[in-house]
Structure 1
């Protein structure tokens, strides 16, 4: 409700002015006089700037109410403008300013009440003796015409002022709480959007690493198999056919994984397929062997189920290490793969005896990708040339 009213302040002020003015006209009396109505118009005009400058509304309403009080008139709806102004100052103005205006108003009300009480307590002056001819048709004069109007005295005026100020203060507190809640809601929405954007960026980074591993490995195997098939095409056609079959199998596997990864981005809708893990390492080793690279694969310790993140990271680390062997170790290199199940970690070691001490700079992001995978899981990673010959990749993944 407060939010709706705050968005239509001018309409609220116009409606309030019309309501007070109409109530004043209905309750007004003919003997009020031209001056009284002129002052009332000033107070009504001050209501139109209540939100923009409530101090003017209070000042104009207070002066008009005090003038009406001095004229000896009863209280009318237009005299409430002073209370509305005080309410508005307490609701939208500085608190110290509203307190000062409240104190000044109470001081004026107290002073007027004292003056009215003293004036009304004086005995009426005795007129000189004279002969009075009573006209029975003339109206009897009101004995209270000489009484000074006090509108309920200090208790009535002071209580009205205090209630108006407290109501404005309560409105101010509610408005502040509403503003805080709106700001907090906006902050939560921004935080949610930021978290969602970060999650999307992290997922896209993960998928990009997956695509790099899949495509790099598949292309390396395909190129080596194609070279072997080309060399044996004339002398050993059967070996060429086997190499071509391996190329087809490798390509289909790579395409299946690429479709799965792109499906995670919403760019494709393939059938569901589980992510690769350590159980697929024998098939990966078989593909490398079919490409002509000798591979020794050993499993030490008792194999056990792994979490999906550790399972996928182990497979991708071995896959990327084998891809680097195919690309950089040379045609005569052999590879040894060891997966060691410890009490609370899975250790992976991939070593080769190739001619390349380490992948050349600018050759890709395979080592960085492996190191990042291990770092995310809180493990340890080490990669570098061996003392005698070849290259070694070692990773420890907490389980």
Structure 2
């Protein structure tokens, strides 16, 4: 059974089973062939071998249980007075497994078990005077004569060596554990970066789709409003006013061709980076196009015209285009449209004022106003829409401010 935080394995971990069986077989052979266990029956000795073998078998699947079984084997050995055996070297596999695969509490407990186990083994071996302790190679491992000649120095040297032997596999397991965690965190970081890049790409794609929809709305909406106005005015012309009919049809055709060209220009600009929406015509062309429909329009330009960069030039053109489209679509045919372009040192202010038709008025449910706001906000501009009611109806005033320099 695994502790919380330990990796859960499905099925049988055959490497652990193999290590456990090999340990069990070696222990059985050692019990029958070598008398190094001291006192105790064969059954008592086999219990120790079984505990060590089971601990070794669980080093990967249940490191916490393997650590507990290791201490049970040590306790059984001390309680029964058994000497050390070669088979107990399999506990080094347990030290590796607890550091490599154990839960955090298992790692800490196994780390504390290394010096504790080394101290217990040394004290137990000294008290029993076992062959292992008696033949410990102090003279080869300890260079200091003072340490070799003193009992405490010899015991300290033995403790360090035993602890180093126990700690080596534990440190190796811990290093591999940290390396795996680093690799896993690096993979997670790369995955998160890839997901963020995909999300950014999707956001840019959706923004591009929204910009395309706004451009097409502004272009087609304006052209259709002009075409409808021309068509409405043409049906009231007399039969002998063939020249004015031809002029209306010519304006309709020109508006349609212009709209088609603008749409093509917008679509082709999607391949360019950064996207600017194409080079627009002069702002004067928009009021002139409204006049061609026969609708009265008064245009005023004040101040000294300044320079607009590519993006602001496009925004100014599209916003004024949408303002005039709304005025033409929702305004009264008997009332003039007032267009005011005011240039200052730091901004261009566009203002369009129109009376609403008796059954008109802006619904506010389309793309026009939100599209203008988005365009203006992209360059640090603002949009204000005001309505004034009186006895004869209502007057709508749309005011857009476009800064000449980035804020």
TM-score between the two structures when normalised by the length of structure 2: 0.71
Aligned residues: 361
CA distance in 1, matches of 2:320, 2:305: 17
Summarize the Cα distance change of 1:112–1:86 in structure 2 as closer, same or farther, 3 Å threshold.
closer
- Could you say which residue in structure 2 is the equivalent of 1:391? 396
Summarize the Cα distance change of 1:239–1:162 in structure 2 as closer, same or farther, 3 Å threshold.
same
Summarize the Cα distance change of 1:47–1:234 in structure 2 as closer, same or farther, 3 Å threshold.
farther
CA distance in 2, matches of 1:384, 1:356: 18
1:92 aligns with 2:105: no
- Could you say which residue in structure 2 is the equivalent of 1:193? 198
1:107 aligns with 2:116: yes
Match of 1:213 among 202, 214, 218: 218
Whether the aligned pair in 2 keeps the contact of 1:335 and 1:351 (CA below 8 Å) is yes
CA distance in 2, matches of 1:103, 1:327: 84
- TM-aligned CA deviation for residue 217 of structure 1: 0.9
- TM-aligned CA deviation for residue 8 of structure 1: 12
Q: Match of 2:204, SS? A: helix
Summarize the Cα distance change of 1:165–1:95 in structure 2 as closer, same or farther, 3 Å threshold.
farther
- Could you say which residue in structure 2 is the equivalent of 1:173? 178
CA distance in 1, matches of 2:238, 2:268: 38
CA distance in 1, matches of 2:387, 2:160: 96
- TM-aligned CA deviation for residue 250 of structure 1: 0.8
- Could you say which residue in structure 1 is the equivalent of 2:143? none
- Could you say which residue in structure 2 is the equivalent of 1:148? 131
Summarize the Cα distance change of 1:74–1:363 in structure 2 as closer, same or farther, 3 Å threshold.
closer
Match of 1:83 among 78, 87, 92: 92
Alignment map for 1:1-399 (pairs within 5 Å):
14-15=14-15, 18=18, 31-32=33-34, 43-44=52-53, 46-60=55-69, 75=86, 79-120=88-129, 148-150=131-133, 152=136, 153-232=158-237, 234-262=239-267, 275-277=278-280, 279-352=281-354, 359-361=361-363, 364-385=366-387, 390-399=395-404
Q: Match of 1:340, SS? A: strand
Q: Match of 2:332, SS? A: coil
Deviations 1:288-317 (A, max 9, x none): 111002334444344343223321221112
Q: Which runs of 5+ in 2 are unaligned?
A: 1-5, 36-41, 137-157
Whether the aligned pair in 1 keeps the contact of 2:7 and 2:101 (CA below 8 Å) is no
Q: Match of 1:346, SS? A: strand
CA RMSD, Structure 1 to Structure 2 (Å): 4.1
Summarize the Cα distance change of 1:344–1:156 in structure 2 as closer, same or farther, 3 Å threshold.
same
Summarize the Cα distance change of 1:101–1:352 in structure 2 as closer, same or farther, 3 Å threshold.
closer
Whether the aligned pair in 1 keeps the contact of 2:23 and 2:56 (CA below 8 Å) is no
